[in-house]
Structure 1
Amino acid sequence: MLYAKVNEQGAIIDVAPFQNEDFTVLVSPNDPHVAQLLASKLDQQSSQELLSSSDQEMMRILEDLIDLLTEKHLIQFTELPMAAQKKLLSRKFVRGIHSGNNDNLIGDIRDDDALI
């Protein structure tokens, strides 16, 4: 879904993938004016910026996929390389803190077993 920012005359002046006090009007990406705005925004951003912004979203998808595969017993978490296990546990721990769900997923961490 896309939300538009409109001027006093009701003309669309910008679009965003989120709704807030500025972007209030739900619009279709198929609308020619919206498509033109999207194309100009993509022209302004480098491909590297687009990749960087999607990397965070992709990482979350991979984390969720690994969680799903382990819950269904299709893979065992311990089959992953140790560095991957530590990074995933670290991210899960930090996400738990930010969401208020601190279940001590990692436990006590020794200095020689610090997370990557």
Structure 2
Amino acid sequence: MYIKRAKEGHIELVSREASPDCREFLAADSPELLAFLMEDEAARGHAHFQASDLAFVRVLEDVIEVLMDKGVISFTELPEPAQQKVMERQSLRRRLNGLSLVGNGDEESEVI
């Protein structure tokens, strides 16, 4: 593999073929190259995990709402910090949903 190094000396770019930017050769099993490639993979995995967390939070909000609507639990049975977080999320959702009521995304039909 051919690499380009940053001024600080760390790997900045990797290519399978030599190019004007990537001239230095490193073996594919080089610990330095493997660490660089794993760092990028870990970052992508972390971003996916965060997106999954956000989606799961929405599921939990819906579950809490259903349980309260059915009388299985009451809002006051939740611990105080949980009550505060639920109220904050509901308030944010109402504000965001209220903003989207102004128009449907079609510029010609938006209310000014």
Which is greater in Rg?
2
- Structure with greater contact order relative to length (CA < 8 Å, sep ≥ 6): 1
TM-score by length of structure 1 reads 0.47
Q: Which has the higher helix share?
A: 2
TM-score by length of structure 2 reads 0.48
